[in-house]
C-alpha cells in the first residue's frame, strides 16, 4: 500500500511538472501559429523512400519474428563472424549507426535494429508495450534468433539505457558492452534527483507525460523538432555532418508510425511501476563513449558509472554532441576498435 501511495504521489508531481512545460510549449506553438498560420499544421507527404536508406554498403534489410513482435533490421558482414548488435535511441532508427555499419562489417556480423514502434518494426499500441522490460525481452530473443549465444552489444541514448538494463539482467548474453551518451540507470536517477542542471535538461521527459501535445509538438511544421534536434547549435551535430538527405531519411522513418510509440518509452518509464531494480555491479567489460557537448545529459554521469562497473573504460569525445556516433564517427569507431582489441 505504501508503495502504491508513493507511486501515486510521484505521478501527481510528474504530471504537474509536465503541465507546466506543456503550457510553455503551447505558448511557443501559439506564437508559431501567429507567424505561420495554417503552416503550423503542415506535414509533407512522403511516398518516396530516400535512396540513402537502400545504400548496399550499409547492408541488407531484413525482418525477424519474435514471440510477440516483428522487428526490422539491417545487417552486413559474414554470418560466421561474431555478432555486433546496435540499439538506437530517440528520436532515431537503425540509420543512426550508418558509420559503424560500414566500419565494423569487415570483422563482425553487424546488425542494427529498429526498436519496437520505430520505422519498419511493428508498433503495438498502448503504453504498456514500451516498458524497459519489453525492450530487454526483445534483445533476449533476438540474439539467439540470429543464431548466437553472445554478442558485442552497442547502444546509444534510450538504446543504451536498454543495453544497461539488459546487462544487469542477462550478462551471459554479452561479450562486451558499449554505451554511447547513455547513463547507467541508477546513476542517472540519482543525478537527476540531486542536480538542478540535469533536472532542467530533462524537461522534455515531463512534457512527454502529457497526451497528444508532445506528438503535435514533434510533428508540427513538417517535424520541425527533428531539425532542432539534429541541426541546431544547441542540440545538433557539427555543421556539415547531417546532410539534407540524412534528415529526410529521419522524417521519412517517422512518417511511417508517427511519434506516439517512441514517446511511449518515456511515458511507460514514469507511469508504470517496476519491481525494485537490482543494481548489482555490471559483470561485463564496458566501454562508454561520451560526447562532451551533450545538451541533454550532464557529462558527470559518465564518470559516476565506474562505481557500478568493475571493468569500466570511459572515453570523452571533445567537440561532439549527444549524437556522438554521427558527430565524430572516426574517433568513436577508433575507441570501439581499441576497446575490443584490448579485451581479446
Phi, psi values for residue 202, rounded to 5°: -90, 20
Helix and strand numbers (H, E) in the chain are 13, 8
C-alpha grid cell for residue 21? 512545460
Query: What's the pTM value of the predicted model, to 2 decimals?
Result: 0.96
What SS3 state is found at 301?
A: helix
- What is the predicted pLDDT for the residue at 331? 97
- What is the predicted pLDDT for the residue at 106? 96
- What is the predicted pLDDT for the residue at 274? 59
Report the b/e string of 151-183 with b at 16+ CB within 10 A: bbbbbbbbbbbbbbbbbbbeeebbbbbbbbbbb
- What is the predicted pLDDT for the residue at 275? 53
- What is the predicted pLDDT for the residue at 272? 73
- What is the predicted pLDDT for the residue at 279? 76
Is 33 within 8 Å of 76 (Cβ atoms)? no
What SS3 state is found at 157?
A: coil
What distances in angstroms separate CA 120 from CA 71, 137, 157, 178, 256, one per listed residue? Answer: 7, 19, 20, 25, 7
Per-residue pLDDT of the chain in tens (344 residues, 90 and over written 9): 555 566 677 788 899 999 999 999 999 999 999 999 989 999 999 999 999 999 999 999 999 999 999 999 999 999 899 999 999 999 999 999 999 999 999 999 999 999 999 999 999 999 999 999 999 999 999 999 999 999 999 999 999 999 999 999 999 999 999 999 999 999 999 999 999 999 999 999 999 999 999 999 999 999 999 999 999 988 988 878 899 999 999 999 999 999 999 999 999 998 876 555 567 899 999 999 999 999 999 999 999 999 999 999 999 999 999 999 999 999 999 999 999 998 65
β-bridge mates for residue 243, sequence order = none
Going from N- to C-terminal start, the domains of the chain cover: 43-194+228-342
Element (H, E) at 76: strand 70-76
Distance in angstroms (rounded) separating the CA atoms of residues 213 and 170: 37
Among 328, 340, 175, which residue's Cα sits nearest to residue 316?
A: 328
What SS3 state is found at 183?
A: coil
What distances in angstroms separate CA 112 from CA 22, 79, 82, 275, one per listed residue? Answer: 34, 14, 14, 29
Distance in angstroms (rounded) separating the CA atoms of residues 64 and 146: 9
**Crossing angle of helices 2-36 and 213-231, rounded to 10°:** 70
Half-sphere exposure (Cβ direction) of 56: Cα atoms closer than 13 Å: 0
Active site residues: 157, 266, 322
Fold classification of 43-194+228-342 is: Rossmann fold (3.40.50)
β-bridge mates for residue 110, sequence order = 76, 84
Amino acid at each position: 500500500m505504501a508503495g502504491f501511495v508513493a507511486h501515486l504521489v510521484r505521478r501527481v508531481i510528474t504530471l504537474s511538472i509536465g503541465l507546466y512545460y506543456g503550457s510553455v510549449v503551447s505558448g511557443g506553438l501559439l506564437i508559431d501559429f501567429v507567424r505561420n498560420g495554417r503552416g503550423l499544421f503542415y506535414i509533407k507527404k512522403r511516398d518516396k523512400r530516400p535512396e540513402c536508406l537502400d545504400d548496399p554498403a550499409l547492408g541488407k534489410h531484413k525482418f525477424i519474428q519474435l514471440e510477440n513482435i516483428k522487428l526490422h533490421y539491417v545487417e552486413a558482414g559474414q554470418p560466421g563472424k561474431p555478432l555486433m548488435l546496435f540499439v538506437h535511441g530517440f528520436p532515431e532508427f537503425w540509420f543512426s549507426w550508418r558509420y559503424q555499419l560500414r566500419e565494423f562489417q569487415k570483422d563482425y556480423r553487424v546488425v542494427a535494429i529498429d526498436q519496437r514502434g520505430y520505422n519498419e518494426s511493428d508498433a503495438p499500441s498502448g503504453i504498456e508495450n514500451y516498458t524497459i522490460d519489453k525492450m530487454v525481452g526483445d534483445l533476449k530473443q533476438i540474439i539467439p534468433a540470429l543464431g548466437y549465444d553472445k554478442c558485442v552489444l552497442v547502444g546509444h541514448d534510450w538504446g543504451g539505457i536498454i543495453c544497461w538494463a539488459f546487462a544487469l539482467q542477462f550478462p551471459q548474453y554479452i561479450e562486451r558492452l558499449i554505451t554511447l551518451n547513455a547513463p547507467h540507470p541508477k546513476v542517472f536517477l540519482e543525478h537527476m534527483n540531486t542536480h538542478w542542471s540535469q533536472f532542467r535538461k530533462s524537461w522534455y521527459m515531463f512534457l512527454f507525460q502529457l497526451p497528444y501535445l508532445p506528438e503535435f509538438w514533434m510533428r508540427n511544421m513538417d517535424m520541425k523538432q527533428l531539425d532542432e534536434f539534429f541541426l541546431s547549435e544547441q542540440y545538433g551535430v557539427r555543421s556539415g555532418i547531417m546532410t539534407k538527405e540524412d534528415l529526410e531519411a529521419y522524417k521519412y522513418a517517422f512518417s511511417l508510425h508517427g511519434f506516439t510509440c517512441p514517446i511511449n518509452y518515456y511515458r511507460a518509464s514514469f507511469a508504470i511501476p517496476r519491481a525494485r531494480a537490482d543494481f548489482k555491479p555490471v559483470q561485463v567489460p564496458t566501454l562508454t563513449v561520451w560526447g562532451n557537448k551533450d545538451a541533454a545529459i550532464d557529462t558527470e554521469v559518465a564518470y559516476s558509472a565506474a562505481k557500478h562497473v568493475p571493468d569500466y573504460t570511459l572515453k570523452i569525445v571533445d567537440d561532439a554532441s549527444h549524437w556522438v556516433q554521427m558527430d565524430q564517427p572516426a574517433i568513436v569507431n577508433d575507441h570501439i576498435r581499441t576497446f575490443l582489441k584490448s579485451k581479446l
